């Protein structure tokens, strides 16, 4: 017969494999930020540069279906719930020229593509190789425990 510890472990592994554990953690974080966010406190106005950067991040999160990360980001940053700058205006502000293909991905991808050195340019230093995703993230479920405040 399985012990309570075995059941907890099996439940954590199952939730992790199904991708639910990360969602639950993100929802808890978003709710904590919302609960801690004092609505009576006047936040400083978000300047135009931060507004633009936040909209780029929002577009990136939405494109990659990072809905829970987006909800935490919006709660923490004070960014309005609905986009406040249209993509065409962001592209114009960033001086990014677009075509049909580039419009299918977030502007952030175009910015990254634009700042990478071209292959024709000599490399001035030996860059560190980009680590593989499998080297960054283990396949084991991360421990998760509720703690009392």
Residue 55 belongs to a domain = yes
Count: domains in the chain? 2
Domain that holds residue 52: 45-116
Report in angstroms the alpha-carbon separations of 72 from 34, 77, 118: 9, 8, 36
- Claim to verify: residue 34 and residue 62 sit in the same structural domain: no
* Whether residues 69 and 103 fall in one domain: yes
> Is residue 5 in some structural domain?
no
| Residue 102 in domain | yes
The series of mean pLDDT values per 10 residues for the chain, 149 residues long, is 82 85 81 67 75 94 92 83 90 86 89 69 61 58 48
CB of 85 within 8 A of CB of 48? no
35 and 51 share a domain?
no
pLDDT of residue 53: 93
Same domain for 20 and 82 = no
pLDDT of residue 146: 47
Check residue 76 and give its pLDDT: 79
What span, in angstroms and rounded, lies between the C-alpha atoms of 72 and 53? Answer: 16
The pLDDT of residue 32: 78
Paired tokens of 44: 């400083």
Asked whether residue 107 is domain-assigned, the answer is yes
How far lies 99's CA from each of 34, 89, 115, 145, in Å?
A: 39, 15, 18, 48
CATH number at residue 73: 1.20.960.40
Extract the tokens encoding 19.
């991708």
């Amino acid at each position: 017969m399985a012990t309570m510890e075995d059941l907890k472990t099996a439940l954590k592994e199952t939730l992790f494999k199904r991708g639910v554990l990360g969602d639950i953690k993100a929802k808890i974080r978003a709710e904590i930020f919302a609960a801690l966010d004092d609505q009576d406190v006047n936040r400083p106005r978000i300047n135009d540069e931060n507004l633009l950067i936040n909209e780029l991040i929002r577009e990136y999160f939405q494109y990659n279906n990072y809905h829970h990360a987006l909800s935490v980001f919006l709660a923490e940053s004070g960014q309005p719930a609905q986009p406040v700058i249209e993509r065409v205006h962001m592209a114009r502000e960033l001086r990014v020229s677009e075509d049909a293909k580039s419009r299918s991905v977030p502007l952030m991808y175009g910015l990254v593509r634009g700042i990478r050195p071209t292959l024709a340019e000599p490399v001035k230093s030996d860059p560190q190789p980009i680590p593989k995703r499998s080297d960054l993230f283990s396949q084991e479920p991360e421990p998760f425990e509720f703690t009392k405040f």
